[in-house]
Amino acid sequence: MSQDKKFYFDFTSPFEMERQIEIFPKSLKEQFFIPKNDKFKMKIIVLQRNYLIIQNEKVSYKTNIQHTFQKYFNITNAFLEIVSHPKMGLGVSLTKNGVNFRFYGLVQQWFVYMKKWCIQSYFSNEYSIISLIGKGAFAKVFKIQRISDRKELAVKVFDKTILQCKDKLALLKEIELLRLMNHKNVVSIQEIYENDYYIYLVQELYQGGELHMEVMKNKTFTERKAFIIISQVVEALHYVHFHGILHRDIKPENIILREEGIIDQVILADFGLADYYRKDCKYMFTRCGTPGYVAPELLQDKIYDHKVDVYSCGILFYYLLVGKGPFDSNNYDTTVKANQNGHVDLTQFSFTNECLDLLRGMLDPNPQNRFTLDQVNLSPFFKKHTFANNPINHSISLESLKNKSHSQTHSLQLSPYQEQRYKQELNSRFAQYASPLQSPLRLKSPNSSPLTDSQHQSPNLQRVPIQI
């Protein structure tokens, strides 16, 4: 991007920070050469998620004692590029709010990691576009190929010229949350590019399509197959909630299959309505979600917490078993009214007792009595379908499913501090979290996301604050 033009993402705090950052033992730590007054000095640099920590050492002339002090840089949304020096070789350049910082050495690994948090400029130098795979009111989705290794990925391309201020805040919030995600069952972003006209979000390419398409093909799922999917969604929600985030839009359209027909590799997607949990429930708007999948306390304008996602997950569970949602109707007001009441009639079904008990626990209209995610995992239904010594095959399909268990492992990468917090979360998942932005997605059009085609959506449903 032209250096004389402001970054679209230029909204953050200053580059150099005054407050100290705790350094975790497992953080990346290397020695690099930093230019200073036309010379280069070797310094120890620590890379810890979205922070760079420069360690300096000085010897006091009076006491001859060596003192160590640090400088802290928040690299979030800094302009990132690879540079070279005739003597020092490759280096990394970071520019943010008019401040530039460079360091040289073996920077390739660090550059790959920092791409998630920073902004790059020349998308066409790194990727070639293969085909258009999706189109919405604000963005297009393309299948792309990385030039360096020919790996196929996906990119969401947003047109900056048509985004309004509120849309910008919504996009920034979604990116902020997605950057925190690093789990096999949760969507994330790999890198971000920006030029004068477009924003590019590079993500993994998922070939399997949306879960609701599988339901349309297969009508209903057996209890075992429903468990395979729901257990992964519950695991994903555990991870999302651990980061203090409410998803608030669990539905079949937002569950993606990594490969077509493979149900043991599902991805929780679309964080357009997600936000950091607040005890006071003071969000930009509180009524949001998809009618038919929303927890009743949210529609009743009550204070709510992470259990809204448990209820929506219960509706998803019901949908998989029955082939439709409990509140489905051709009339919007009827759907919302039934959803607001929240009562689901399960007396007409002949599911197993373990399955019915879990559905009742997840779909209890009273959030005080509703299951937590931990209770879901400990339910007899989950225990019945989980066999630790007999994990399921990693390529289970809808046509060849055997009675094997689901592996519960995931890719949490925690520091000692996070591990301690995680243990606390198991007892209480409702701690207050703060965020630089408190602006959930609120788009002009009443459809599901910036990438959803507005021509195929019912005008009163999907991703706008629900008005009753």
Nearest alpha-carbon partner for 230 in 347, 108, 371, 328: 371
Would you tell me how many other CB atoms lie within 10 Å of the CB of residue 180? 19
H helices present in 263-406, as ranges: 296-299, 307-322, 332-341, 353-362, 373-377, 380-385
Nearest alpha-carbon partner for 75 in 47, 36, 44: 47
- What is the 8-class DSSP label of residue 351? -
Nearest alpha-carbon partner for 246 in 415, 431, 423: 431
Task: Please identify which of the residues 4, 10, 38, 249 carries the catalytic annotation.
Answer: 249
Is 249 catalytic? The answer is yes
Would you tell me how many other CB atoms lie within 10 Å of the CB of residue 160? 15
Q: Is residue 217 annotated as involved in ligand binding?
A: no
CA atoms of 261 and 258, how far apart (whole Å): 9
Would you tell me how many other CB atoms lie within 10 Å of the CB of residue 174? 24
Coil, strand or helix: which one is 47? Answer: strand
Q: What is the CA radius of gyration of the chain?
A: 24
Nearest alpha-carbon partner for 396 in 212, 300, 263, 303: 263
Nearest alpha-carbon partner for 442 in 332, 288, 257: 288
CA atoms of 267 and 67, how far apart (whole Å): 48
How far does Cα 173 stand from its chain's mean position?
11
Annotated binding residues, written as ranges, equal 156
Catalytic (active-site) positions: 249
Annotated binding residues for ATP, written as ranges, equal 156
